[in-house]
């Protein structure tokens, strides 16, 4: 699946950027990764709010070989096959994937230490008073 194919597939959703990522590609909207492509299969970003839709359809998480075993990344799930032929429904799923990715980003920002120097300190380091 070429980057042009992916852009066309997501055209009802809106413009997406396709960037090379390891052995596949990442799918980005407004700089936020909402999906990935591996071996011609699209996986969409999932979180606790959106997981039920993927589970109802028994869509497996993204998996890849690592050190002779299969590792999986549960935050990305296989896109339903019917969406390759239904751009309107794909747009709905893509919006949900983007929302999951944005919630994840917001959670990371809240959890990151403050930049005022009063965040957690490394072991053995003393603060100057």
Q: How confident is the model over 38-66, as pLDDT tens digits?
A: 999 999 999 999 999 999 999 988 987 78
124 domain-assigned: no
| pLDDT tens-digit readout, 2-52 | 999 999 999 999 999 999 987 889 999 999 999 999 999 999 999 999 999
Close Cβ partners of 18 (under 8 Å, ≥ 6 residues apart): 3, 6, 7, 25, 26, 27, 28, 37
Q: Which residues of 78-94 are buried (b: 16+ CB within 10 A; e: fewer)?
A: bbbeebeeeeeebbebb
**Which domain range does residue 19 map to?**
3-111
Residue holding tokens 């993927």? 54
As for how many domains the chain has, the answer is: 1
Q: Residue 118 falls within a domain, yes or no?
A: no
| Domain contains 55 | yes
CATH code where residue 51 lies: 3.30.1460.30
Instruction: Please provide residue 97's backbone torsions phi and psi, each rounded to the nearest 5 degrees.
Output: -65, -40
Residue 127 lies in a domain: no
Residue 41 placed within a domain: yes
The Cβ of residue 64 has, within 10 Å, a number of other Cβ atoms equal to: 13
Nearest-angstrom CA–CA distance, 96 and 88: 13
- pTM reported for the whole predicted model: 0.79
- 19 is a domain residue: yes
Q: Is residue 61 part of a domain?
A: yes
């Amino acid at each position: 699946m070429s980057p042009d194919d992916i852009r066309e597939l997501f055209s009802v959703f809106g413009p997406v950027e396709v960037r090379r990522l390891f052995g596949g590609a990442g799918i980005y909207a407004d700089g936020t990764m909402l999906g990935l492509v591996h071996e011609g299969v699209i996986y969409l970003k999932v979180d606790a709010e959106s997981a039920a839709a993927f589970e109802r359809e028994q869509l497996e998480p993204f998996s890849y070989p690592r050190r002779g075993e299969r590792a999986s990344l549960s935050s990305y799930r296989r896109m339903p096959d019917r969406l390759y032929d239904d751009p309107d429904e794909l747009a709905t799923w893509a919006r949900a994937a983007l929302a999951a990715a944005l919630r994840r980003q917001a959670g990371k920002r809240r959890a990151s230490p403050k930049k005022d120097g009063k965040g957690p300190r490394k072991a053995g380091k003393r603060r100057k008073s």
